[in-house]
Amino acid sequence: MKGYELKDLLAWDARIREAVAKAGLDCFDQEFELCDHYQMLGYMAYSGMPSHYPHWSYGKQYEKLKTLYDYGVSGLPYEMVINSNPAIAYLMRDNSLLLQILTIAHVYGHNDFFKNNFTFKATRAELTVELFKAHAIRVRKYIEDPSLGIDAVERLLDAAHALSFQRRRNLAIRKLGREEQIKQAMESAQPKPDQYRKIHRPVGFQPPDINKVPLEPEQDILLFIRDHNPYLAEWEKDLLTIVDEEARSFLPMIETKIMNEGWASYWHKRILDSMDLDQGLYLEFLVRHNQVVRPIPGQINPYHLGLKIWEDIYRRWTNPTAEEIEQYGAPDRTGEAKLFQVREVERDTSFIRRYLTPELARELDLFKFEPRGNDLVVSEVSDEDGFERVKETLLQNVGTNSIPVIKVEDADFGQNRTLYLRHYHDGRDLHLEYAEKTLGYVYSLWGRECALETVVRGRRILLIYNDRGFSTRTMK
Amino acid sequence: MVDSIFRDYRGSNAERSDRSAGDRLRHRQKVRESIRTNIADIIAEESIIGKDKDKIIKVPLRGIKEYRFVYGDNTPGVGQGEGDTEAGQVIGKVGTEGTAGDRAGDRPGVDYYETDVTLEELIDIMFEDLELPDLERKALREIQSERSSKPKGHRRVGIRARLDKRRTAKQRIMRKLATRHAALEELEPDEEEPRFPFHTDDLRYRHVEPKMRRESNAVVICIMDTSGSMDTMKKYLARSFFFLLYQFITTRYRNVEIVFIAHHTEAKEVGEEEFFHKGESGGTFISSGYAKALEIIHERYHPSIWNVYAFHCSDGDNFDSDNPAALRAAQELAEVCNLFGYGEIKPLGSRYYESSMLSIFRRLSAPNFHTVLIERKEDIWPSFKTFLAKERLAEGAA
């Protein structure tokens, strides 16, 4: 370590924790581990997990990160935190003292967010590390099993990885069991009470088809295949479960990237500001802080956007301008209280929808771009006309909204056990080469014909994958 | 207040820091596998022919992409400007990384489609693909030469110059100690210990073994028709084939030389540059090229010392009057060569109206003579493979 020792870090950490407590942040206990850059690359490749099952894609990830790092294309993050209880963070030992201080404060921001944001409530933080370890043990067991071997396990994992995020995104909404779905379907099939029933033709009771599988379109594709393909072996089902569970535990991170990074940046700034750093450290702090949260022209830096929105919320609830009071009403609570409320009940989508104001968007100069020919062209800017469309586009690209929604509509399409999937098209077409290959993975898991309904350039088409390979059909 | 603990750096814990080793290896295997399955396409790419060994080649990879359902290129995005962005401004190109906006989510990002390999690695993989284990055992005409020697143990006999004094002295001491008891008994009191001279048994010589090195020399003779009918495309195909042959021979022999012979109605030895780039005009006497090759072989590469590989590329448009002479020369050449090949380059379709040497050479019955037909660049690799596979067959028969 450069010019400081572990005991210096401990002393700074104690001061930071005091400031954290004073600020009212509510954290899990925290573990810090000092690592070198090789170890950091290793942690990054495996999403920070101390233990993780093996798969070649992580090797690829490692090589890619290392290449980018070696050629100076991208640096390494100053830290990496994982959502577990206690939270685990890795600090780079070659960083300067100030960077460590900044990072430690930043980590407590994340930690507070993990503990309090609603999206993380469904992940059991105290079990995260053990869960990943248990997965690793099981996968290794299958690989070492001479009757299975690495090739079979890899084939299944390749397919499962391709579909891992084709699952329900909002973990706070409980999934109904089959019985409940039937009940709901029966209820909604009942004729509505009609106060004009004397003059209306009576609507008879239309019994719903309760034998249909799935009753309601089903978004958890991996789990659906696990539960409805009777030819899968136990180990295959187990692997599908493992991949789904991992995707599930990363979901909150994806859903709150902007909020979470913004929150941690907001608090490391406030905490370090409150700590009376000496001048040298403070100047370095300003430089580093601005490097992290600087806007990147032509892109969205989640650190920058998040921080700006949080600062704007705090300002609007402590010191609103007259116009703002007129437009949005007087603040209903203090700035602090508002911050803590928002960090608990929002995710990126709702956060941006509710708190990105036209004024802020204009200040940040957010714009929408679209491909035209070979160029990316700015099509809307955040003026009065364009703001809503810029915001809608931003929302489409935030969190899991950047993943196409595809649901299982029918598991027995044409009485042929064809798996019928439908892409819920929202104006964005699928990448067809990827769709073809991924549908191939669905086919390999389902074992029978699979069909995917989607829209390409305004025309409904059906992508089909069966024992004769891939084909497409235009739909009426 | 929250609790925290710090775990200090543990650098020696290799298991944790290098846990990705297995996955990296597996990934590299996949990359290699992918290159191997696409080798024919890569070879057909113009860029690798004639480059030096350390040249890094970008090889497109198929099969190691991680596919998911993702949105295509027509997806709008949001970016941040510097305060003066206006509608209609062009901010970047479709499909380039960086400008396309951070999607701030789990977009798979730009997967990389290519990897860098050095030409040497590529050649390794290429010949791995050939899977010709028999070729390793090929009775290469090797010449043993005693270049150096290495020490190997000690001997009781030898020449003076190799006397190991230290060991000899040791032997004497050992012998002295062994005989001491008896000697002491015989000794009268007060008598001085007698001299204990060296004995022939004590002498130890360093032993050296001559290091026999298998010297293997090969010469690749590239003969090409540079007559007017050989256009750039034909030359390119020929060049690709020569390249493969040369690389292949290089992996098998220590010392490989290459000779370029260009011929139209008469033949001359030329440099590489001239061979591939200089156009000639006029008619074709194939026999002239073979005669030149024979001449060079007799002058510089005697078959008792050299493994001779000759390959001739032509479009088969030979003067009819020359055919008997060409056949005779080919017969002679086949006798002095390990392998002699004739590649007829006929861009697709043209073989139906142009004359061909293939039918002429069919009359030549040497086991180490082979003809291949190359119609387009995709043929190069398969025909190269069959060329060598025939060699194996021939050996099996021999």
Say whether A429 and B71 touch across the interface (CB within 8 A). yes
- Residues facing A33 on adjacent strands: A90, B7
More confident residue, A236 or B364: A236
Which residue from A232, A189, A183, A225 is spatially nearest to A207, judged by alpha carbons? A189
The whole-chain average pLDDT of chain A stands at 91
Of B19, B80, B89, the CB nearest to A364: B80
**Interhelix angle A234-255/A149-163, nearest 10 degrees:** 40
Which of B10, B67, B96 would you mutate first to test chain A, the one with the most A CBs within 10 A?
A: B67
Which residue from B319, B299, B212 is spatially nearest to B257, judged by alpha carbons? B299
Ordered by start, the domain boundaries in chain A are 6-117+256-284, 128-164+217-254, 303-399, 404-474
∠ Cα A258 A264 A265 (to 5°): 85
Is B88 within a domain?
A: no
CB A256 within 8 A of CB A306: no
Residues of chain A found within 8 Å of residue B83, distances taken between Cβ atoms? 365
Say whether B73 and A431 touch across the interface (CB within 8 A). yes
Instruction: Please tell me the total count of domains within chain B.
Output: 3
Is B99 within a domain?
A: no
- Paired tokens of B317: 């448009």
Question: Which of A189-198, A243-252, B126-135, B258-267 has the largest mean confidence?
Answer: A243-252
CB A106 within 8 A of CB A79: yes
Say whether A38 and B17 touch across the interface (CB within 8 A). yes
- Paired tokens of B36: 């191997």
Which of A378, A422, A445 would you mutate first to test chain B, the one with the most B CBs within 10 A?
A: A378
Say whether B106 and A406 touch across the interface (CB within 8 A). no
pLDDT score for B50: 54
pLDDT score for A204: 73
Q: Could you tell me which chain A residue has the CA closest to the CA of B99?
A: A298
CB A367 within 8 A of CB B79: yes
Of B7, B81, B106, the CB nearest to A31: B7
B311/B178 same-domain check:
no
Cα–Cα distance measured from residue A254 to residue B106, given in angstroms and rounded to the nearest whole number: 6
Which residue from B105, B1, B78, B110 is spatially nearest to A261, judged by alpha carbons? B105
**Least Cα separation, residue A163 to chain B (angstroms):** 6
B176/B246 same-domain check:
no
Say whether A42 and B20 touch across the interface (CB within 8 A). yes
Residues of chain A found within 8 Å of residue B104, distances taken between Cβ atoms? 257-258, 300, 302, 305, 348, 397-399, 402
Of B2, B23, B79, the CB nearest to A367: B79
Residues of chain A found within 8 Å of residue B81, distances taken between Cβ atoms? 297-298, 365-367, 378, 381
Say whether A301 and B4 touch across the interface (CB within 8 A). no
Q: Could you tell me which chain B residue has the CA closest to the CA of A394?
A: B78
Q: Is B372 helix (H, G, I), strand (E, B) or coil?
A: strand
Q: Is B346 helix (H, G, I), strand (E, B) or coil?
A: coil
Lowest-confidence region among A328-337, A402-411, B38-47: B38-47
Say whether B1 and A13 touch across the interface (CB within 8 A). no
Q: Could you tell me which chain B residue has the CA closest to the CA of A302?
A: B104
pLDDT score for B287: 87
Which residue from A217, A222, A229 is spatially nearest to A244, judged by alpha carbons? A222
Residues of chain B found within 8 Å of residue A158, distances taken between Cβ atoms? 66
B351/B390 same-domain check:
yes
Residues of chain B found within 8 Å of residue A404, distances taken between Cβ atoms? 69-71
CB B78 within 8 A of CB A368: yes
B207/B119 same-domain check:
no
Phi, psi angles (nearest 5°) of residue A99 = -60, -40
**Least Cα separation, residue A108 to chain B (angstroms):** 10
Which of A81, A108, A299 would you mutate first to test chain B, the one with the most B CBs within 10 A?
A: A299
Q: Could you tell me which chain A residue has the CA closest to the CA of B20?
A: A59
Cα–Cα distance measured from residue A277 to residue B173, given in angstroms and rounded to the nearest whole number: 79
Residues of chain B found within 8 Å of residue A435, distances taken between Cβ atoms? 69
Residue with tokens 């901010």: B91
pLDDT score for B213: 62
Say whether A55 and B112 touch across the interface (CB within 8 A). no
Residues 6 or more apart whose Cβ sits within 8 Å of residue A107: A30, A32, A79, A81, A87, A89, A264
Does the pLDDT at position A371 exceed 60?
yes
Q: Is A409 helix (H, G, I), strand (E, B) or coil?
A: strand
Task: Establish whether the linkage from the previous residue to A146 is cis, with ω within 30° of 0.
Answer: no
Q: Could you tell me which chain A residue has the CA closest to the CA of B63?
A: A437
Q: Which of B187, B211, B235 is the last residue of a domain?
A: B211
B197/B118 same-domain check:
no
Residues of chain A found within 8 Å of residue B30, distances taken between Cβ atoms? 56
**Least Cα separation, residue A258 to chain B (angstroms):** 7
**Least Cα separation, residue B31 to chain A (angstroms):** 10
Is B220 within a domain?
A: yes
**Least Cα separation, residue B122 to chain A (angstroms):** 19
B299/B195 same-domain check:
no
Instruction: Specify the amino acid at residue B241.
Output: F
Of B80, B98, B106, the CB nearest to A400: B106
Does the pLDDT at position A138 exceed 90?
yes
Instruction: Specify the amino acid at residue A223.
Output: L
Which residue from A127, A51, A114 is spatially nearest to A82, judged by alpha carbons? A114
Average pLDDT over residues A401-423: 94
- Residue B251: half-sphere exposure toward Cβ, Cα within 13 Å: 20
Cα–Cα distance measured from residue B305 to residue B218, given in angstroms and rounded to the nearest whole number: 9
Which residue from A452, A331, A305, A450 is spatially nearest to A390, judged by alpha carbons? A305
Average pLDDT over residues A2-23: 91
Residue with tokens 């696409």: B38
pLDDT score for B389: 66
Say whether B104 and A398 touch across the interface (CB within 8 A). yes
pLDDT score for B144: 55
Phi, psi angles (nearest 5°) of residue B299 = -75, -45
The DSSP bridge pattern shows strands B217-225 and B307-314 to be parallel
CA-CA-CA-CA torsion sign (B74, B78, B82, B83): positive
Which of A1, A390, A396, A403 would you mutate first to test chain B, the one with the most B CBs within 10 A?
A: A403
Is B2 within a domain?
A: no
Which residue from A39, A140, A57, A136 is spatially nearest to B28, judged by alpha carbons? A57
Cα–Cα distance measured from residue A271 to residue A465, given in angstroms and rounded to the nearest whole number: 56
Element housing A108 (H / E): helix A97-116
Say whether A381 and B92 touch across the interface (CB within 8 A). no
- Paired tokens of A390: 């810029």
**Least Cα separation, residue A257 to chain B (angstroms):** 7
The 10s digit of each residue's pLDDT in A76-114 is 777 788 889 899 999 988 888 998 999 999 999 999 999
Say whether B77 and A368 touch across the interface (CB within 8 A). yes
Cα pseudo-dihedral B8, B9, B10, B12, rounded to 10: -150
Phi, psi angles (nearest 5°) of residue A88 = -115, 130
Residues of chain A found within 8 Å of residue B74, distances taken between Cβ atoms? 370-371, 428-429
Rg of chain A in Å (alpha carbons): 26
Cα–Cα distance measured from residue A292 to residue A304, given in angstroms and rounded to the nearest whole number: 8
Cα–Cα distance measured from residue A439 to residue A57, given in angstroms and rounded to the nearest whole number: 19
Residues of chain A found within 8 Å of residue B90, distances taken between Cβ atoms? 375-378
Residue with tokens 């992508």: A463
Residues 6 or more apart whose Cβ sits within 8 Å of residue B27: A56, A57, A59, A60, A63, B64
Residues of chain B found within 8 Å of residue A56, distances taken between Cβ atoms? 23, 26-27, 29-30, 64
Is B15 within a domain?
A: no
Say whether A161 and B75 touch across the interface (CB within 8 A). no
Q: Could you tell me which chain A residue has the CA closest to the CA of B80?
A: A366
Stated length of chain A: 476
Backbone region of residue A72 per phi and psi (left: phi > 0; alpha: psi in -120 to 50; beta: other values) = left
Q: Cα separations (Å) of A284 from A24, A79, A174, A290, A461?
A: 26, 17, 47, 10, 57
The 10s digit of each residue's pLDDT in A269-296 is 999 999 888 999 999 999 999 988 888 8
B202/B286 same-domain check:
no
Say whether A366 and B107 touch across the interface (CB within 8 A). no
- Residue ranges in chain B whose pLDDT is less than 70: 12-17, 39-63, 95-117, 128-147, 187, 189, 212-216, 278-280, 348-355, 389-398
pLDDT score for B374: 82
DSSP assignment string, B133-172:
HHHHT-----EEEEEEEEEEEEESS--GGGB-HHHHHHHH
Residues 6 or more apart whose Cβ sits within 8 Å of residue A224: A214, A218, A408, A411
DSSP assignment string, A17-72:
HHHHHHHT-----EEEEEE-HHHHHHHHHTTT-SS----HHHHHHHHHHHHHHHTT
- Paired tokens of A138: 């099981």
- List the helix and strand counts (H, then E) for chain B: 12, 13
In this structure, what DSSP letter does residue B11 have?
T
Is B85 within a domain?
A: no
Burial of B365 (0-12, 13-18, 19+ CB in 10 A): exposed
Residue range of the domain that includes B362: 214-397
B177/B271 same-domain check:
no
Say whether B7 and A258 touch across the interface (CB within 8 A). no
Of A36, A154, A396, the CB nearest to B9: A36
Cα–Cα distance measured from residue A442 to residue A429, given in angstroms and rounded to the nearest whole number: 19
Residues of chain B found within 8 Å of residue A461, distances taken between Cβ atoms? none
CB A231 within 8 A of CB A225: no
CB A165 within 8 A of CB B106: yes
3-state secondary structure B256-272: EEEEEEEECCCEEEECH
